[in-house]
Amino acid sequence: MEIIEGRRGRRAASLLLCGALAVPSACTSSRGPAAVRPPRATAAPARQAVRGDLTGDGKADVVVAASRTPTLYVVPGGKERPAVIDWSARVPGNGDPITELASADFDGDGRTDVAIGTPQADAPGRPRSRMGIVTLLYGTAASPYLGTSRPVVLDQDHPALLHPADTRPRYGGRFGAALATGDFNGDRYPDLAVAAPSAPGPLLGREPHDPKTGRGALTVFYGGPAGLSTRGAQLLVPGERGVPAGRLGDLAAADVTGDGNDDLLIGDSATTRPGDDATERCVDPDGDEAGHPRPVGMLYVLRGSAEGLSGRDAQSISGADAGVEDGFGHYLAAARFRHGSYADVVVYGATRRGGRCDEGVLVVLRGGPGGLVPREATTVTGRRPPYSCCGGLATGDVDGDGDADLLVPAGPYDGAALAWLVPSGHGGLSDRAVPLTARSLGLPPNPVRTELALFDVDGDGRDELLAGTMYSKDGGDEIRLVSAALTSSGATGAVDLTGAAGDLAGAGPGGEFLR
């Protein structure tokens, strides 16, 4: 199952906040590879939506998606009744796993909208293509709280995404494997960045082509009074027009330069910068990677501007610059963790330089007028290093002070902890991490899977913890969903939302939180 809250990740099985679909209307871009200035909004948004608020009542809403059956459970943050939505077989991608979610008020009507990534789905009119699609649903005040009658379907049917010198339709690409929302052109309407991290493959029945000659790509759709538009959508291909030539992994968006335009952060944990030493001491002796060096990893920054995202002045940072030996960039989180104009970025790496293999390390890179400043990189340690093992990082303001706090999923070595809360202050993220346990949330111990998010479900101006846990029970699955307030000492006031969401037993995990 999944829960959604405010932004993505493509990661291990989990929970999500999302909506339902009916008959889609396909929306594909016909623009060529050259950059096109995105359309500017003709009017400012009517009001800003609360993150995750589908209905516009000032409270975030929770949506649970059952991955083994095409059913969605919407639990409104107010007094409205929950809704159960059938994920109709008429919708492209409905039978494929949802691995990415992102939300924002794309049309400025005060209600949160949801983008759903199904990177293994067939593109419209391309049976067995597995190109991947993204489905957009707009928030509504009435049940089922997401507009199911006119979903918008986006795909990567674009010549520049095909094999070089070959304009025939190809297959694969995983469009929608990573999503991020941000206002990249400063018009106060959020935009959507969609990654297709793999190069589209060969025609069905043909021999595989050399993957080094193929290309993944980023597609950016811009928001406005009518919502996301394919007009002026940008195609950003790694290695072209100043875009760094890396692999597309996790995405995050925030204004790290303080110029009023959000910037796009791209994690690339599969690349080693030329000249950097990849470590061979952290290998799985029984695995496929035995005896091979692990990639160090990279982080790329594409700067926003009045013309939208651009490869101009793009920034590349290696894990070696931040004291990480391997896996740098696997998970990202970006937010204003300290007072001021600049957002900072938290980057997960697998191994600290000289540290224990796969212990996990979180590196904080500070923003500034010229971008991120690697020489000021710090690490989040706490009493023990936080482990980001099985899910992504979440951000939200749990104490209402205007600065974002960080939530880190616990790993297999963390004992009773389900997660670690890293609070922020005037100087940024704290050097201590507060453990959050199953007991403090009123949950049974030892869940098989836990997914977490932060957003304001009660409308008090402070983000609460959303925790979804899955337990093995008589050969099936038992799902528990709770919310709780967070303080500097841990979780308090836990509320069980499981009954409100409906009978979740046997639904099983299969997606992830929208962060």
Q: How many CB atoms lie within 10 A of CB 284?
A: 11
Phi, psi of 232 (to 5 degrees): 80, 10
CA 219 centroid distance within chain: 15
Residue 173: DSSP 8-state: -
Indicate the pTM of the whole model: 0.87
pLDDT digits (tens, 9 = 90+) for 106-142: 999 999 998 888 888 887 777 777 788 888 889 999 9
Q: Which residues contact 244 (CB under 8 A, 6 or more apart)?
A: 238, 266, 298, 300, 311, 314, 316
Beta bridge partners of 27: 154
Distance of alpha carbon 315 from alpha carbon 299, whole angstroms: 8
Amino acid 284 reads D
Contact 85, 19 (CB under 8 A): yes
Distance of alpha carbon 395 from alpha carbon 410, whole angstroms: 15
| Side-by-side strand order, sheet with 332-335 | 332-335, 344-349, 361-366, 373-380
For residue 187, which of 149, 223, 157, 212 has the smallest C-alpha distance? 223
Distance of alpha carbon 173 from alpha carbon 166, whole angstroms: 15
pLDDT for 360 equals 83
pLDDT for 510 equals 35
pLDDT digits (tens, 9 = 90+) for 467-506: 877 776 554 456 678 889 998 888 999 988 776 555 554 3
Q: Which residues contact 264 (CB under 8 A, 6 or more apart)?
A: 180, 182, 184, 193, 218, 220, 251, 252, 253, 301, 302, 304, 309
Tell me the Ramachandran region of residue 259: left when phi exceeds 0, alpha when psi lies from -120 to 50, beta otherwise.
alpha
What burial class does residue 287 get, using C-beta atoms within 10 Å of its C-beta: 0-12 exposed, 13-18 middle, 19+ buried?
A: exposed
For residue 509, which of 481, 489, 483 has the smallest C-alpha distance? 481
Bridge-based pairing of strands 133-137 and 152-154 is antiparallel
Contact 81, 74 (CB under 8 A): no
- Is the omega angle on the peptide bond into residue 409 within 30 degrees of 0, that is, cis? no
Q: Which residues contact 372 (CB under 8 A, 6 or more apart)?
A: 256, 299, 301, 315, 317, 345, 365, 366
Distance of alpha carbon 171 from alpha carbon 156, whole angstroms: 11
Number of H helices, E strands in the chain: 1, 33
Q: How many CB atoms lie within 10 A of CB 448?
A: 13
* List of E strands, 297-360: 298-303, 310-318, 324-326, 332-335, 344-349, 351-352
Contact 406, 399 (CB under 8 A): no
Residue 376 belongs to what H/E stretch? strand 373-380
Name the stretches of the chain with pLDDT < 70. 1-37, 64-72, 79, 85-95, 97, 157-171, 200-215, 283-291, 381-390, 411-415, 472-479, 499-515
pLDDT for 30 equals 33
Beta bridge partners of 243: none
Residue 415, both tokens: 């004992």
pLDDT for 387 equals 56
Contact 129, 205 (CB under 8 A): no
Contact 435, 460 (CB under 8 A): no
For residue 348, which of 335, 372, 364 has the smallest C-alpha distance? 364
